[in-house]
Structure 1
Amino acid sequence: MTTVVHHRTATVDGLEVFYREAGDPQAPVVVLLHGFPTSSHMFRHLIPALADRYRVIAPDHIGFGQSAMPSLQDFPYTFDALTQVTSGLLQSLGVDRFAMYVQDYGAPIGWRLALRDPDRITAIITQNGNAYVDGFVKSFWDGVFAYAEAPGPETEAPMRGALTAESIRWQYLNGVADPTLVSPDNWVHDEALLDRPGNDEIQLKLFRDYPTNVNLYPRVQQYFRDSRVPLLAVWGANDEIFGPAGAEAFGQDLPDAEIHLLDSGHFALESHLRPITEYIRDFLGRALV
């Protein structure tokens, strides 16, 4: 039986939010939260792989994918603001409790949702979505934190380099043992959206806001200790953005965390869809009983 995936738009706080949805509306909900520089497009294969058991919802964050892209004057472009829109979308869809899959930027959005209302979160899957400074690969992050601390022409230049086609391609292929498994449509798609007039300033604003995520880590780790939320980490072990120490660190506060390191990079779904899907289905099958 072919899974039907719907492509929908909802209005949240006056903004159009695009999301993909599949599965029985009465089934347990799994929310998929994407990272930089992509969109719900990254979940195009995972959604149908889970939708026979779950109601799967994958939104595009504001400024990404097919969602609205208001100007900096009309939207603050902070991780708090992105979380507010995501929360509003879930409320409008009648989602009270949900498991979440977080990757990259999706992680700090997911952590904020959990801190707002811990009882709503039934389980967490993190795929190269950090909650510990252990996971930061210094050579990548030094430039981000330097720019956030002292924005200016010298610190901004490396950040603009992160928006180029070459850099986006690197994010997809770095650390992948067999690059032929990764479709070039990914970085072509992402770069086309990044190239929209004004999107560069949006991304730079989010880079400047990134330290707020790190400042949140102690509260997130306390949430883990207090809630004992079921957590699965499926991690591209060769990621030079969020290294494998970031996956292993979850065990510090969640001793029962299930941690699997894969021979892949930042976007491990592109090369390891099948094993990740199998891990998720097994994990959720036990965590959501």
Structure 2
Amino acid sequence: MIIALALVGLTVATVWLAPRLLTLGHWQVRFPRLALAAWHAALLAGVAALVASVVVSVLVAVGAAGASGATAGTEGIVATVAGWTALLVVGALAALVASRHELLVDMQESERDAVLAAPHEVLATEGRTELIVSSIDRPFACAVPGRSRAIVVSAGLQRLLSPAQLGAVIEHERAHLVGRHALAVRLADLNAACLPGLRAPRELRRTTRLLLELIADDHAARRAGAAHLANALVRIAEVETNPAAELRAARLEGRRWRPARAASRSSVLRAAVGAR
């Protein structure tokens, strides 16, 4: 039982300490991939410790049930109650996770349908990914994951940006699809939905979204040029009054980058914008 309690304590310590340790300093902005891995490793460590505590409790209960003697009988009762309680807690959590996951999937499907509901034109196709230009006037771009993946840019964004800037935005959204960033977002959202009111899930959800944007920025900067993406973010920030876009642009401008990859290796989707 001591081991089981220690594992439960480790779970609680992880939930309490992770946000405090991982938000120290500004290293996350410099190394977003490492920071994202650290956040999700802390989450998985907490889950693993909780599952291990349940397994240990059940094993202790089984071992106590096979013992003999009055003392063993008392210990067996305590261990059995603890084991069954642990199983009930895990069962309740599993049911909660399943219900919340279903709601999140439904919400994401609704968001996908809403994005694709407006009149649009398929401008290019690269593998399983389509480049879609929506008729919406508000400047925006988004990645639509799924079996039929898509990068959606609005007509308003197309008018606002130069072809090079729009190409950089497309590479940013393409990074979300290639990196399967929607899975990390869903995991963070699921964690927050199952543990409302706690700081750690809120911080994980907020930080996951921020770090994924920075990771996609870095990918686009290497592929299409940091200056093009920074200028695109500045233009979007001016129109949309988006301070986050301004900060991301300043981050790109404050770093040294190697020249973008050769045009011969450019994305088909980005090339389609330049030929438009």
TM-score range, shorter-chain basis?
Answer: under 0.3
Q: With CA pairs under 8 Å and 6+ residues apart, which has the higher RCO, 1 or 2?
A: 1
Please state which structure has a larger fraction of its residues in strand. Answer: 1
Q: TM-score, normalised by structure 1?
A: 0.23
More helix by share: 2
TM-score normalised by structure 2 residue count: 0.24
Larger Rg: 2
